[in-house]
């Protein structure tokens, strides 16, 4: 029995490595995924843009703000000059947080009273918001110790008042569940479309399609329709569960949400049909789908901020449709983003959809020839 098992195992290994495409899939994808995970998957925040609204201007405020500007992880943007700019800077993701110094900050500290500092944090990514809150808290604790040592007194000279926008309680579920709408939509759509043509080839029924009156473009559309319908239905189901079961707020307009869903599903269907056109067997289609899915998820910013990735990897994320889709989802869910705010995310997604569907059509005709 063991001899037969060994012989069968050797036969499978020989069959696997005899095929050039199989050798490529076994060796290259793990190396690519290792590089993607190693460079892109990081929960550390190394480049944190922030703005300052200094309503005091005293020497104590300058001393405190110097500690932020000297911190290696913080990058100061243009200062805020009036109250209304705070919302604008956070809405467009220009900064991750804004420091607001109370007008009597220095006077209160000199008089022995408690000075107040308000930190307004973008709470759409709860993980990043909590990390920023910890960083800010450490800087203020150091400032308090140094102030007490230099000027005497007891207690905490400075108190921190923190407010997280769009996610007041920093519920991580709001961030991850809204992102799961994109992740699950991508997985289901890619799998349905990636296996369609490969299944026909493996079962020997693809040649029968070619002798029917259907034109290649009609066959392509017929193969794409199940993926489109299932992708939209899957997204709708996950959205309903996110709102009704997990309690994630959906404060935006459904028309904006479904515009993003349709653009993303078209892009995912194009990728799936490209994989299916290139694959000769179901196994190759599954491996091709896995090869695309893992980097797409890591590079999308689903769990780790894109801003922490190296510049070359950040450029690579620009061709990832899931990157734009997640921004649309989280913006519609948590902040009620409209077409005006999300246009910069929708037009690249539309271009990716056109490119992938066009490439899938070309590959489909080429492989039929």
Per residue in 196-240, pLDDT (tens digit) is 777 667 766 665 655 566 666 776 777 778 888 888 888 888 888
Q: Are 173 and 245 in contact (CB under 8 A)?
A: no
The answer to whether residues 223 and 161 belong to one domain is no
The answer to whether residues 219 and 345 belong to one domain is yes
Is residue 186 scored above 70 in pLDDT? yes
The answer to whether residues 189 and 255 belong to one domain is yes
The answer to whether residues 57 and 154 belong to one domain is yes
CATH number at residue 109: 3.40.1710.10
Cα angle at 53 between 50 and 57, to 5 degrees?
125
pLDDT of residue 8: 43
Q: Is the dihedral of CA 237, 240, 246, 249 positive or negative?
A: positive
The answer to whether residues 94 and 208 belong to one domain is no
Q: Domain end: 165, 193, 228, which one?
A: 165
Q: Domain end: 165, 200, 229, which one?
A: 165
Average pLDDT over residues 116-127: 80
Considering only 94-103, 212-221, 277-286, 296-305, which range has the smallest mean pLDDT?
Answer: 212-221
The answer to whether residues 187 and 287 belong to one domain is yes
Is residue 13 scored above 70 in pLDDT? no
Contacts for 124-128 with beta carbons within 8 Å, 24 or more apart?
Answer: 124/165, 124/166, 124/167, 124/175, 124/330, 124/331, 124/334, 124/335, 125/175, 125/305, 126/164, 126/167, 126/170, 126/171, 126/172, 126/174, 126/175, 127/43, 127/172, 127/175, 127/303, 128/45, 128/96, 128/305
262: confidence class by pLDDT, cuts 50, 70, 90: very high
pLDDT of residue 32: 62
The answer to whether residues 80 and 188 belong to one domain is no
Average pLDDT over residues 43-54: 79
| Residue 8 counted as domain residue | no
| Residue 324 counted as domain residue | yes
The answer to whether residues 257 and 177 belong to one domain is yes
pLDDT of residue 347: 94
| Residue 34 counted as domain residue | no
Average pLDDT over residues 26-36: 55
The answer to whether residues 182 and 141 belong to one domain is no
| Residue 124 counted as domain residue | yes
Most confident of 5-14, 150-159, 350-359: 350-359
Q: Domain end: 165, 180, 202, which one?
A: 165
Is residue 161 scored above 80 in pLDDT? no
pTM tops 0.75, yes or no: no
| Residue 35 counted as domain residue | no
| Residue 159 counted as domain residue | yes
Considering only 62-76, 157-171, 275-289, 354-368, which range has the smallest mean pLDDT?
Answer: 157-171
| Residue 38 counted as domain residue | no
Q: Are 267 and 321 in contact (CB under 8 A)?
A: yes
The answer to whether residues 198 and 107 belong to one domain is no
pLDDT of residue 154: 59
The answer to whether residues 259 and 201 belong to one domain is yes
The answer to whether residues 334 and 215 belong to one domain is yes
| Residue 32 counted as domain residue | no
User: Which domain does 356 fall in, by range?
Assistant: 172-368
Indicate the number of domains in the chain. Answer: 2
């Amino acid at each position: 029995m063991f001899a037969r098992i060994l012989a069968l195992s050797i036969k499978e290994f020989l069959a696997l490595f005899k095929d050039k495409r199989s050798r490529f899939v076994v060796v290259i994808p793990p190396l690519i995924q290792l590089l993607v995970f190693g460079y892109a998957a990081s929960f550390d925040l190394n480049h944190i843009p922030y703005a300052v609204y200094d309503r005091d201007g005293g020497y104590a405020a300058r001393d405190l703000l110097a500690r932020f500007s000297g911190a290696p992880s913080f990058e100061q943007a243009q200062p805020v000059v009036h109250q209304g700019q705070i919302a604008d800077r956070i809405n467009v993701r220009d900064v991750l947080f804004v420091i607001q110094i109370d007008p009597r900050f220095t006077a209160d500290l000199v008089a022995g009273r408690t000075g107040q500092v308000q930190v307004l944090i973008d709470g759409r990514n709860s993980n990043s918001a909590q990390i920023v809150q910890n960083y800010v808290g450490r800087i203020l604790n150091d400032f308090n110790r140094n102030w007490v040592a230099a000027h005497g007194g007891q207690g905490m000279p400075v108190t921190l008042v923190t407010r997280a926008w769009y996610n007041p309680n920093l519920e991580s579920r709001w961030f991850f569940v809204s992102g799961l709408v994109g992740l699950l939509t991508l997985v289901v759509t890619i799998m349905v479309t990636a296996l369609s043509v490969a299944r026909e080839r493996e079962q020997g029924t693809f040649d029968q399609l070619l002798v029917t009156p259907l034109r290649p473009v009609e066959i392509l559309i017929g193969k794409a329709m199940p993926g489109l319908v299932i992708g939209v239905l899957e997204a709708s189901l996950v959205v309903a569960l996110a709102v009704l079961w997990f309690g994630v707020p959906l404060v935006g307009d459904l028309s904006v949400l479904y515009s993003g869903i349709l653009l993303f599903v078209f892009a995912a269907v194009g990728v799936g049909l490209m994989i299916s056109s290139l694959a000769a067997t179901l196994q190759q289609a599954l491996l091709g789908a896995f090869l695309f899915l893992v980097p797409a998820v890591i590079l999308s910013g689903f769990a780790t901020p894109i801003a922490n990735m190296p510049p070359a990897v950040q450029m690579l994320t620009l061709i990832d449709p899931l990157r734009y889709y997640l921004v649309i989802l989280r913006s519609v869910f948590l902040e009620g983003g409209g077409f005006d705010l999300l246009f910069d995310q929708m037009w690249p997604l539309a271009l990716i959809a056109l490119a992938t569907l066009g490439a899938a059509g070309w590959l489909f005709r080429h492989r039929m020839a």
